[in-house]
Amino acid sequence: MNKIPVPPLKEVLRLDGMSKLFEQPTHTVNALKNVHCTIYEGEMVAIMGTSGSGKSTLLNMISAIDEPSSGTLYLFSENANDMYKEPNASKFRKEQIGFVFQDFHLLKDLNVEDNIAIPLILNDVPSKEIAIRVEQVMKQLGIYEWRKHRPQQLSGGQKQRVAIARAIIHKPPILLADEPTGALDVNTTNDILKLLTDLQKQGQTVILVTHDPYVATFAGRVLFFHDGQIVDSYQNEQSLADLDIILERFKTISRGDA
């Protein structure tokens, strides 16, 4: 039987033995301990872990908000550790990273379209092109009719759509989301997850931090974090069994017997 050739997976991001220590006056916190992982183009990966397990620290390493104590970051298969030094870190963040936060982080004095335009302004895109692209992304995410509204006039789901629009407008190869549905009700959570999976189907690489097993079922792959390490992983089968399996594994690591 002829097999259909599978195109090789393109590596977007690889962490090689990454560790992060926080030196405190009385003790040292090992927030990441020798983490190895590879993220491929067009994947949606969920990072699950208990509170304090190192999830946000990991996102900070990936987005060069903070630098590791040891280990190497590879971007598109190339050693990228020099990206941790300024001005490279700021340049990397504004060009390569989209970040969606749990509590939206919108600027309250700017309306929807101005909030969304920020990354393009930072990247010196001409204002005519900004207007076109902002309109396009607002229509794509179903928030065009809210374009003149300020954040406080929007619902939680609308705010998160604006935050996602802002995170993707400069077409970053890596979209990071730290608990993006943590502040939303169930229906709105479903809307936002549908939006993220639609983006992923269009080729967007997404890394999603969550402590909600239901949210993790939307990813292709789940990495389980505990105490600064990846202790387990699960490839979703896109079946009803996924939720129970993820929940079970999460319970196991939360108890600390993984």
Residues that bind ligand ADP (CB under 6 A): 22, 29, 31, 49, 51-57
Nearer to ligand ADP, 57 or 181 (CB): 57
Q: Structure tokens of 106?
A: 């919108």
Q: How far is the CB of 231 from Mg ion (least distance, A)?
A: 17
Query: Which of ligand ADP, Mg ion, none sits in contact with 53, Cβ below 5 to 8 A by type?
Result: ligand ADP
Pick one of ligand ADP, Mg ion, none as the site partner of residue 152 (Cβ within 5 to 8 A by kind).
Answer: none
Q: Would you say 51 or 239 has its CB closer to ligand ADP?
A: 51
Q: Residue number with the shortest CB distance to Mg ion?
A: 56
Q: How far is the CB of 228 from ligand ADP (least distance, A)?
A: 7
Nearer to ligand ADP, 60 or 217 (CB): 60
Cβ of residue 27: shortest distance to ligand ADP, in angstroms? 10
CB of 55 or CB of 161, closer to Mg ion: 55
| Rounded least distance, CB 220 to ligand ADP, Å | 21
The Cα–Cα gap between 198 and 205 comes to 11
The option from Mg ion, ligand ADP, none interacting with 220 (CB < 5 to 8 A, set by class) reads: none
Give the nearer residue to Mg ion in terms of CB position, either 115 or 189.
189
CB of 182 to ligand ADP, least distance (A): 11
49 binds, among ligand ADP, Mg ion, none (CB under 5 to 8 A by kind): ligand ADP
Q: 51 or 152: whose CB is closer to ligand ADP?
A: 51
CA distance 44 to 113: 27
Residue type, 218: F
Contact 228, 66 (CB under 8 A): no
| 137 or 219: CB nearest ligand ADP | 219
The nearest distance, CB 55 to Mg ion, in angstroms, is 5
Least distance CB 179 / Mg ion (angstroms): 7
From the list Mg ion, ligand ADP, none, pick the one residue 51 interacts with, judged by a Cβ distance below 5 to 8 Å according to partner type. ligand ADP
Q: What is the 3-state secondary structure (H, E, C) of the chain?
A: CCCCCCCCCCEEEEEEEEEEEEECCCCEEEEEEEEEEEEECCCEEEEEECCCCCHHHHHHHHCCCCCCCEEEEEECCEECHHHHCCCHHHHHHHHHEEEEECCCCCCCCCCHHHHHHHHHHHCCCCHHHHHHHHHHHHHHCCCHHHCCCCHHHCCHHHHHHHHHHHHHCCCCCEEEEECCCCCCCHHHHHHHHHHHHHHHHCCCEEEEEECCHHHHCCCCEEEEEECCEEEEEEECCCCCHHHHHHHHHHHHHHHCCC
Name the binder of 54 from ligand ADP, Mg ion, none, CB < 5-8 A by kind.
ligand ADP
Q: Residue 65 half-sphere exposure, CB side, CA atoms within 13 Å?
A: 11
Residues near Mg ion, by CB under 5 A:
55-56
